[in-house]
C-alpha cells in the first residue's frame, strides 16, 4: 500500500456517556440532526489517538457514531514518529472523580505518568489542588468513610434490599454530610482558560453545578495517550453507581501516597502565553491561530493536528487540492509537509504538535 504524505481528515471516535454527556459535541460538529444522535449523550470525541482513522474525503451519509465504516481509510500508525501520538479529546463532562496522575519521572509501580491539559470552550467548574491548611489525615479518613458507605449501599442494591434510586439518595446525603470538597480548592473557570496538569501529582476534578455551568465542563484536552487503568488514581467517585449497582474501584492509599502537597503547586494559575501559545510543555504544544488571511505552514519536526474551534478552513498542500475542515472537526498533517491554511469563515484554529 502506497501512503501519500498529505493532509487527511480525521475520523473522530464518539463516546457515548449516558450519565454525564450531552449534545454540545454533536451540535459543534453539525451532526445533531443525524439519525439517532439527538437521542444520545456524547461525552467525548477522540480527535487524535493511537487508533485514529484518516480519510481524504467523507461522504455525508456516513454514520459518525461507534466505529463508522468509511471507505478508503488508513491508520494513523502508518505515520508513527519517534514519539507516541498524544491523545486529544473534545469533552462534555459533569461530576468527574477526585483524581491525580503521578508526577513525571516518578516510579509509581503499576502507575504511569500522564501529562494532561485542558482548554475551556465555555465556563466551567473544577476542583484543583489541596486547600491550604488541610489536615491530610482528616481528608483521607473522609474518603475512606465514603468508600465504605458506597460499598455498603452497592451490596444492598445487589442483594435487592434497596433500589439504585434509593441508594443514590442515601449516598448523596451521606457524602454531603462528610463534605470531601472542604479539603480541595473549588474554582469557577472561564471560557478561554487553560489548566495545565502536565507535571502530575496534583488533585483535580470536573465538578457539577447546574446553576453556574448547566451544560457541564466543555474541555479540549491534550494529554499523553496513557489509559485510565494505569494512570488515573482516584480517592472519591462523586457517589456514582453503575447501571447494575456496582461501583468503580478507587485507590485511596495510592492517591495519598503520590499527591504533591507543595502549596505553590496547588494554586491554580491560568496565565496564557504570548503569540497565541496556550500550552508549551515538554510533551506537547498547543497554539491558537486567529487570522483572516492565508497562513503558510510546515510540519517540520512533528506532525500537525488542526482542530477548527470556530469558523471553517481549506487546508491546501503543494498539489493545490483543498481539503475542507468545518467547525468542530480535525485535520492531520504528517511530518515534513508544507501546506496553507485558507480561512473561509473567521474563527479560531487550534494547532497541536510535539517538541
Q: What is the mean pLDDT of residues 162-174?
A: 97
Question: Is the confidence at residue 116, as pLDDT, over 90?
Answer: yes
CATH number of the structural domain 8-127+189-226: 2.60.120.10
Where do runs of H (alpha helix) occur along the chain?
24-29, 136-158, 164-178, 252-258
Structure confidence by residue, pLDDT tens digits, 92-108: 998 999 999 999 988 88
pLDDT at 234: 98
Q: Which residue has the higher pLDDT, 76 or 73?
A: 76
pLDDT at 61: 45
φ and ψ of 145, to 5 deg: -60, -40
pLDDT at 17: 86
CA distance 42 to 18: 7
CA atoms within 13 A on the CB side of 286: 24
- Predicted model pTM: 0.93
* Residue 244: all three cell numbers together: 447494575
Closest CA to 7 of 343, 321, 328: 321
CA atoms within 13 A on the CB side of 222: 26
Structure confidence by residue, pLDDT tens digits, 1-17: 567 889 999 999 999 88
- DSSP code, position 272: P
Structure confidence by residue, pLDDT tens digits, 26-72: 999 988 765 555 567 899 999 999 999 999 876 544 555 544 556 67
Report residue 121 CA to chain centroid gap: 12
Helix (H, G, I), strand (E, B) or coil at 156: helix
Question: Is the confidence at residue 89, as pLDDT, over 50?
Answer: yes
Name the average pLDDT for the chain: 91
pLDDT at 31: 82
Task: Supply the DSSP string of 279-323, one letter for each residue.
Answer: EE-SS-EEEEE--SS-EEEE--SS-EEEEEEEEEEEEEETT--EE
Report residue 22 CA to chain centroid gap: 14
Q: What is the mean pLDDT of residues 239-258?
A: 95
| Lowest-pLDDT range of 17-26, 153-162, 281-290, 342-351 | 17-26
pLDDT at 67: 45
Closest CA to 192 of 118, 267, 265, 99: 118
CA distance 113 to 102: 5
Provide Rg for the chain, Cα atoms: 21
* Residue 19: all three cell numbers together: 450519565
Q: What angle do CA 68, 74, 75 make, to 5 degrees?
A: 90
Closest CA to 140 of 103, 186, 98: 98
pLDDT at 275: 76
pLDDT at 33: 65
CATH number of the structural domain 277-353: 2.60.120.10
Do the beta carbons of residue 205 and residue 278 sit within 8 Å?
no
pLDDT at 121: 97
Structure confidence by residue, pLDDT tens digits, 280-334: 999 999 999 998 899 999 999 999 999 999 999 999 999 899 999 999 999 999 9
CATH 2.60.120.10 domain locations along the chain: 8-127+189-226, 277-353
Amino acid at each position: 500500500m502506497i501512503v501519500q504524505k498529505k493532509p487527511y481528515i480525521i475520523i473522530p471516535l464518539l463516546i457515548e456517556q449516558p450519565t454525564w454527556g450531552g449534545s454540545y459535541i454533536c451540535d459543534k460538529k453539525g451532526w445533531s440532526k443525524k439519525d439517532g444522535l439527538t437521542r444520545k449523550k456524547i461525552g467525548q470525541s477522540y480527535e487524535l489517538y493511537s487508533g485514529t482513522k484518516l480519510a481524504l474525503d467523507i461522504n455525508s451519509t456516513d454514520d459518525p457514531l461507534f466505529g463508522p465504516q468509511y471507505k478508503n481509510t488508513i491508520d494513523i500508525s502508518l505515520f508513527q514518529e519517534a514519539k507516541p501520538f498524544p491523545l486529544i479529546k473534545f469533552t462534555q463532562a459533569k461530576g468527574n472523580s477526585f483524581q491525580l496522575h503521578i508526577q513525571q519521572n516518578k516510579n509509581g509501580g503499576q502507575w504511569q505518568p500522564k501529562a494532561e491539559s485542558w482548554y475551556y470552550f465555555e465556563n466551567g467548574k473544577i476542583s484543583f489542588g489541596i486547600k491550604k491548611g488541610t489536615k491530610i489525615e482528616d481528608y483521607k479518613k473522609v474518603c475512606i468513610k465514603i468508600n465504605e458507605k458506597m460499598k455498603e449501599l452497592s451490596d444492598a442494591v445487589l442483594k435487592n434490599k434497596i433500589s439504585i434510586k434509593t441508594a443514590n439518595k442515601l449516598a448523596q446525603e451521606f457524602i454531603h454530610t462528610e463534605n470531601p470538597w472542604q479539603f480541595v480548592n473549588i474554582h469557577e473557570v472561564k471560557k478561554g482558560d487553560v489548566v495545565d496538569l502536565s507535571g502530575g501529582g496534583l488533585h483535580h476534578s470536573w465538578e457539577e453545578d447546574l446553576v453556574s455551568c448547566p451544560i457541564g465542563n466543555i474541555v479540549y484536552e491534550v494529554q499523553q495517550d496513557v489509559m485510565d487503568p494505569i494512570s488515573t488514581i482516584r480517592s472519591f467517585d462523586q457517589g456514582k453507581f453503575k447501571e447494575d449497582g456496582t461501583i468503580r474501584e478507587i485507590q485511596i492509599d495510592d492517591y495519598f501516597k503520590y499527591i504533591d502537597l507543595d502549596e505553590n503547586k496547588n494554586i491554580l494559575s491560568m496565565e496564557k502565553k504570548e503569540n497565541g501559545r496556550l500550552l508549551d510543555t515538554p510533551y506537547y504544544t498547543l497554539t491558537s491561530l486567529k487570522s483572516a488571511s492565508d497562513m503558510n505552514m510546515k510540519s517540520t519536526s512533528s506532525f500537525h493536528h488542526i482542530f477548527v474551534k470556530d469558523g471553517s478552513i481549506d487546508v491546501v498542500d503543494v498539489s493545490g487540492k483543498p481539503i475542507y475542515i468545518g467547525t468542530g472537526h480535525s485535520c492531520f498533517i504528517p511530518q515534513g509537509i508544507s501546506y496553507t491554511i485558507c480561512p473561509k469563515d473567521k474563527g479560531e484554529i487550534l494547532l497541536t504538535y510535539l517538541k
